Structure 1
Amino acid sequence: MRRTIVGTCAALAALAIGLAGPATAAPVPVTALNCDGDTYQCTANLRFGDNNWKASWGANIFHQTPRSAYRAPVPVTALNCDGDTGKCIANLQFGDGYWRASWSANIFHQAFRSADGARLAAPVPANSLNCDGNIGRCSVNLQFGDGNWKANWSATIYHL
């Protein structure tokens, strides 16, 4: 029964997205980014449809120490996620401005994840998203504890 309900919801979501037309095929802006040290997940709120669409991906959550601060990540100027491809893309403030970072993400509607609601209940706000082309990773500062907590994940860094 549960599979039937989940399948029906997925089919309805796919139908709704399909009826939306080609204008929705492009990546959509991210309105908020949060990371959860308990589940090692980052979740982005997407500006799409009824604004209950999310993207999530696994991330390493760690405490920043002076020893690990040697990296030279660059700031992110825009972050968009695409439900059709299951990828998030960050525009990097580097060089000629045509550098990007991308990574796989789970794109979902909050209402369809009610069974996982407890798992997604306690993310913390994130800011200062940066990506480093030398090591192929993106990182974000987490507003938690002493302010030295970070999340990072693998990303493909490329030039357009």
Structure 2
Amino acid sequence: MGNVKKISYSETNTSFNHETGEVSQTDTKKVIRLPQEPSFVKLYLEDISRLHNLPTSCTRVMMELVKRIDYDGTIVLNSARKRQIMEVLGLKLTKGKPAQQIDNALSKMKKEGVIRAVDSGIYEFNPKYFAKGDWADIRKRREDFELSITYTADGERVVKGGFKK
């Protein structure tokens, strides 16, 4: 079990016997072991885009989405939120499908395992790349993710990420 953090604490239980009026105490010492947060380095979103061969347009959208990530690793993207992101990015709204550029970027990021749709208009970011919140929660969310990096005969790196079904 790799790098673990031991937490020790004492617990005192006081009980009262209603018939005799006697008060008794029980002291117990408990030790729990939690995995520590792994070492990390700063990784730029452009690097994630390069690893997954995402176009620049996806990187720009991803940057805006990451700014809005919730502590559960998700973002709610309704049409109003998409329009806001389009405005921030200076993208033009089109008739019929005003947020088509956002939707295209989402599709590419889903295909590459950078995000996944968890419900209508709700997306979860890959917790191996994007984490916000308590480490125990992040670690649990990471269990639902698969990542593989392989190399072809000519040395080309192939990164595949995805969420377990």
TM range (shorter): under 0.3
Larger radius of gyration: 2
Of Structure 1 and Structure 2, the greater strand share is in: 1
Higher RCO structure, 1 or 2 (CA under 8 Å, sep 6+): 1
TM (norm. structure 2) is 0.20
